[in-house]
Chains A and B, each alone.
Chain A
């Protein structure tokens, strides 16, 4: 994948997501994360890339 975040933006993403998870709360964090994945999948607009990402995340669980 050629479009990657810079290290600085990765750090920002880490913090933003951590804060957002906290705001969702433990009862709704799964729903929040699932919705976020689905929104990002739609914005990615590439089903092959999504499948790659799923495989990447599934590894080493």
Chain B
């Protein structure tokens, strides 16, 4: 079956429908599962895959029988691509998506700002990739279906949620009748209209912004490169704003702001959407034929739960927070939520860490949300000024930027950046940061530098914690080589990676030859420097010269959920 808007055929995507299968609970059997994930969107699928990677089985419930309709979130940031790398999926996403590094902003059809996102040959991945959400979900879904660690149940709608100190119980409606499912933990990934959130009586708190956008996809052949284009007060949409993005399969996203006083129903009539798009295409000089694929209405919000953990239920993605699309932070925040929650759940379920580790999920990811709010609020105010004063000042900045450099940075759309867990209970020895002039600091994600033409650092990062030990000698302290003994973990639970300026090998130890001096340089490392890396690639702590006792203390503090031994 294929479709786009209102049951019409999609021009490019085949929406496969999946069969409902009777679960064990409807066949007289019942067991308590480790994790149930509610919602098989991109965030729920990512969480299931990350749990599976850590050896945790999960049941994934979704009330639909196919992927979400429409292109929706189309921008995958570099840090999300690094998550996908950890899941073994980055190559598939690279093959399907369009990378980009640049953007242009126009005021009354004159270029006023050129966005250049940092990117060098040392970076494995581009700062941003465009890919329709249907493809994002399908690529994740194919991997989920292939996994024997994940049971995906379609047409399974959660209608009731209860929890006690031992388990969560969900009531599920299906075509074959209702049943109850019990699990140790629940990940609520059921989106903006989360039923789990509603059942717990929780509400998102925050602000709604002025301005409404029609988000439309068209199919059109054009050689224009992949970049973000923003038009302020353009001739085709006077006084308002337009965004244009290229997607794979000759699909173009055109977001245009509509006037505050227009009737939404009228504006969403197909003939009116076609007229608006035709005007935009004329303005940008596109004269080829085009077809309308999909459209939706959008309004910006900054809303979040006060706490993302409620006993045995963790909220991830849009179920926990809604962020404005400007800056492409919705999907990318959700993927980071999923990765953060999944490794912590895995460690607690496997008895490697205390339950308190789960308490660190909310401060870390809610902290990330508040950071997103701060940046997204600025972007949103610039895209859709909420007051006359903001509008006058925004236009002043744009007008000045035609000929003046100083005001142009204010036009920066502040694209999604990974969050540094600087205030997290899991970060330790922050004073050691002062020993470094640069490199990824405590709480920051590691830099995925290229090591040679084919390999990057993430290829060597382990499943659990990792330690990067920098050495300019072949003689490595035996304590470093056997650090797992000090930490009281099995070898597979901690990967020690020796980064060296010389070419040599060690039995059962990962040795990375930094022949380009890329890693030593980007990590500001010297002989003996050490980075302790969490399973989600964030730095727990770092030392210019390794201090084994502090490494052990830092590791144990993480396992204790941020509490000192």
Contact = CB atoms under 8 A, between A and B. Distances in A.
A47 interface: no
B378 A21 contact: no
Interface in A1-22: 4-5, 7, 10-11, 14, 17-22
A59 B112 CA distance: 14
A15 B162 CA distance: 46
Determine the main DSSP class of B at the interface with A.
helix
B400 A18 contact: no
A9 to B, nearest CB: 11
A56 B399 contact: no
A51 interface: no
Contact of A29 (B110, B390, B392, B397): B392
B389 interface: yes
Given A56-B400, A56-B403, A57-B400, A11 B410 contact: yes
B406 interface: yes
A59 B403 contact: yes
Given A56-B400, A60-B402, A61-B399, A17 B389 contact: yes
B409 interface: yes
A22 B387 contact: yes
Contacts of B394: 14
Contacts of B400: 56-57, 60
B378 A11 contact: yes
Given A59-B403, A60-B403, A19 B389 contact: yes
A58 B402 CA distance: 12
A26 B388 contact: yes
Given A11-B378, A56-B400, A61-B399, A22 B410 contact: no
Contacts of A59: 402-403
With a 10 A CB-CB cut-off, give which of A4, A14, A23 has the most chain B CB atoms: A14
B407 interface: yes
B388 A22 contact: yes
A11 to B, nearest CB: 7
Contact of A20 (B389, B399, B407, B410): B389
Contacts of B393: 14, 17-18, 21
A14 B397 contact: yes
B389 A22 contact: yes
Interface of A: 4-5, 7, 10-11, 14, 17-23, 26, 29, 56-57, 59-61
9 contacts: A7-B409, A10-B409, A17-B393, A18-B389, A21-B393, A56-B403, A56-B404, A60-B110, A61-B399
Given A11-B378, A14-B393, A59-B403, 19 more contacts: A5-B406, A7-B409, A7-B410, A10-B409, A10-B410, A14-B397, A17-B393, A18-B385, A18-B390, A19-B389, A20-B389, A21-B388, A22-B387, A22-B390, A56-B400, A57-B400, A59-B402, A60-B400, A61-B399
